[in-house]
Amino acid sequence: MKRLALFLALLTTPAMAEVAAINCVGALQLEDDVYSIPFARGSARIGDAARSPLAAVVEALAADRSRVACVLGHAGQEGGATTSIRLAAERARAVATALAGLGVSRDRLRTEARSAQFSPRVRAETPPSRTVTVVVLPAAGPEPAPAPTPAPAPAPAATPAPSLAPEPAPAPDAAPPPARAP
């Protein structure tokens, strides 16, 4: 019963903040506005080498307020799958926190942890477990205009109702035609 009460309480509680959906699927295939933040092995602490790429990310996001960024923490296989994913997530959060500290709104950032099994970039990089990739996504186009509402179809023309009374015989115009002689 307590579980049900807790569930109902959670259902009726409004969300703290609505964050716009940011889709990072395929972000690593983009080539423009992709920045790599280096990390020391086994660490989620941002070093001095991160200053330049972080500044470039802030500049790209400040240039167009409609753009958003994917902050993708990468991890190799050091320490096992759980440990490496945790490290990748910590790195991504550290970069997002640094960007927020530099003035980027958190609702413009999406953090994700990536592992070597699912990230071709991690498999190709040397060393794979020492980066966070920040991809500033292209600006979304303008909102499409709503489709015009079609005008209502004209009502069919009214046809007269059939009359139940017989039609009257046509009135004679003039005298009947003369009869022919035999």
Q: What does the pLDDT look like over 143-156, one tens digit per residue? A: 555 666 666 767 66
pLDDT category of residue 21 using cuts at 50, 70 and 90:
confident
Q: Express each pLDDT in 32-79 by its tens digit.
A: 899 999 998 888 999 999 999 999 999 999 999 999 999 999 977 767
pLDDT category of residue 98 using cuts at 50, 70 and 90:
very high
Phi–psi pair at 151, nearest 5 degrees: -65, 145
Tokens of 137: 């996504």
CATH architecture of the domain with range 27-136:
2-Layer Sandwich (3.30)
Q: pTM of this prediction?
A: 0.63
What's the confidence (pLDDT) of residue 75?
79
What residues does each domain of the chain span? 27-136
Tell me the angle at which helices 81-101 and 51-63 cross, rounded to the nearest 10 degrees.
60
- Residue 88: partners with Cβ closer than 8 Å, 6 or more residues away: 73, 74, 75, 113, 114, 115
What's the confidence (pLDDT) of residue 170?
62
- Asked whether the predicted pLDDT for residue 16 surpasses 60, the reply is no
**Residues 2, 8, 11, 14, Cα dihedral to 10°:** -90
Of residues 31 and 182, more confidence is placed in 31
| Nearest-angstrom CA–CA distance, 27 and 9 | 37
Cα 111 off chain centre by = 15
| Nearest-angstrom CA–CA distance, 100 and 78 | 29
What's the confidence (pLDDT) of residue 167?
63
Taking CA atoms, 12 is separated from 2, 18, 21, in Å, by 15, 15, 22
Query: Of 1, 101, 84, which Cα lies nearest the Cα of 43?
Result: 84
pLDDT category of residue 142 using cuts at 50, 70 and 90:
low
Cα 147 off chain centre by = 20
What's the confidence (pLDDT) of residue 19?
45
What's the confidence (pLDDT) of residue 137?
94
